[in-house]
Every structure is written in structure tokens, then in C-alpha cells.
Structure 1
């Protein structure tokens, strides 16, 4: 079932079906821009172009470039200076939502948390088995 939404680019209403997140008019415009960017990048001398250079030459927005890389339309294996910002720190990445450094930091924090949790459980288990035998009744 389609859902009525506003196009984030032009503000017009369109039926959102889960395929595109913009209206048909803006999708056609995005496709023209994509073709222009892809033609630019296909030339051997432009394959290593930075995002800033692509924006300067083609007039496409950085956000749209990031979207195409995230969806796999522009592949960083073919164009090494392309990527999209990490959701945590903003550094360019080519896979997932987080860059390698942020992923490693989170994994390290999880290991530390798990070790601390295990230590607390061991201390609690030892305290449960301890009895005070030398206490004198009053």
C-alpha cells in the first residue's frame, strides 16, 4: 500500500511505495545527474577524483553522492576516493554505518563491559558462599 509523503527535494506530494524516497520528477532529475557523474568518473583520469572535485565539475550535491555510494550505485572499489560519512564521527567509510575505527572502539568497549560484568558476577558468587562463623550470639 502506498503512503502519501512530501518529496524531500521539491516538497511536492508523491506516493511512497518503498522504492524511491523522492517524487518521480526529482527521481528523473537524480538519474540525469547520476549519468553525468558516472560519465565523468568513467574517464581514466577522473577515476581517483575526490568528492569535492566531482561536486565542483558536475554540480551534484555531496549528499546525493553519499546516497549513491551507500546504495552501491557508485562502488568505491572502482572509484577509491568515494565513500559516505560514518554515523558516529563523520569520517568517510565504504561499508556499514560506522568506520573501522568507530567499530573497533565499540567492540573494545563491549569487551570491557563484558569483562566487568563477569568480574561482578564472580564477586557476588563468592560472597554468597561466605558465612560468618566466629560471631558470638548476644
Structure 2
């Protein structure tokens, strides 16, 4: 059974079942806008259009374009200048939540952290084996 929620687009109540995140009226509106964008992009001369150009010509909000690219309704393989913002820096990416630069930065930080962790554990292990005794013979 669904959950009663407010539509984030228009504010009306709708039964949220986990499939769609907006009400039925807004789903229909989004679908009409999608058809406008898709028919614009199907023309050969428009396939390399940027997000800004698509918004300018069709009047569709950037957020909707990003949503469609994230859900693979508009595929960057077919339209090379499409993408959505990286969750970290905001530059356009075509897959995942982070762009390639942010992924590489995160991987480098993880490698540094792991190396520091290994160093700390090796220092702790070497200190455990060394005891000084002050025994009198």
C-alpha cells in the first residue's frame, strides 16, 4: 500500500508507491516535455546540443533533463553533450554520482588513509614486541 505525500512539483497530494516521485498530473506533464525534448534531439543537427541549448529551445527545466539522463531515458552515448551534475563538485558526469576527477581524488585519499592505517598498525606491532627490563642480575 502506498504512502500519502505532497507532490514536489505542484504541491498536490498523491499516493506514493515508490514508482514515481510526482503526482499523476505532473507525470503526464513531464512526459509531454520529454517528448518535446526527445523530438528536438532526434534531429541530426541537434544531437550534440548542450543542456543549456536544450533548455533555451524547449523551455524544459535543467533538473528534468538531469533526471532523465540519470534514469537513462536520455542516453549520453546517443547525445554526447548530455550529463548531470556531480554530487561533489557540480561538473557534468555521465555515470555514477561522482565525476571522474572526484572519483580519482577520493581513491587517492583512500589509498593515503590505508597507507597511514597500515603504518600505524606496523608501529603498534613493533612496539608490542620490545620490552626493556631493569632486572638486576
TM range (shorter): over 0.9
The answer for the alignment partner of 1:76 in structure 2 is 76
> TM-score under structure 1 normalisation?
0.96
Is residue 61 of structure 2 the alignment partner of residue 26 of structure 1?
no
Shift, 1:131, TM fit? 1.3
Equivalent residues in 2 for 1:83-122, closer than 5 Å:
83-122=83-122
User: Could you tell me which residue of structure 1 aligns to residue 36 of structure 2?
Assistant: 36
Q: Hey, what does 1:129 align to over in structure 2?
A: 129
Equivalent residue number for residue 8 of structure 1: 8
Verify: 1:54 aligned to 2:57, yes or no. no
How far is 1:103 from its partner? 0.6
Deviation at 1:29, TM superposition (A): 0.4
Runs of 4+ in 1 over 2 A off after TM superposition: none
Measured in 1, the distance between the counterparts of 2:58 and 2:52 equals 10
In 2, the alpha carbon distance for the partners of 1:99 and 1:132 equals 53
Report the CA distance between 1:94 and its aligned residue: 0.5
The alignment yields a C-alpha RMSD, in angstroms, of 0.9
Deviations 1:94-120 (A, max 9, x none): 100000110111111111100100000
SS at match of 1:127: helix
Distance in 2 (CA, whole Å) between partners of 1:36 and 1:129 is 72
Instruction: Point out where structure 1 has 5 or more consecutive residues left out of the alignment.
Output: none
User: Secondary structure of the residue that 1:15 maps to in structure 2?
Assistant: strand
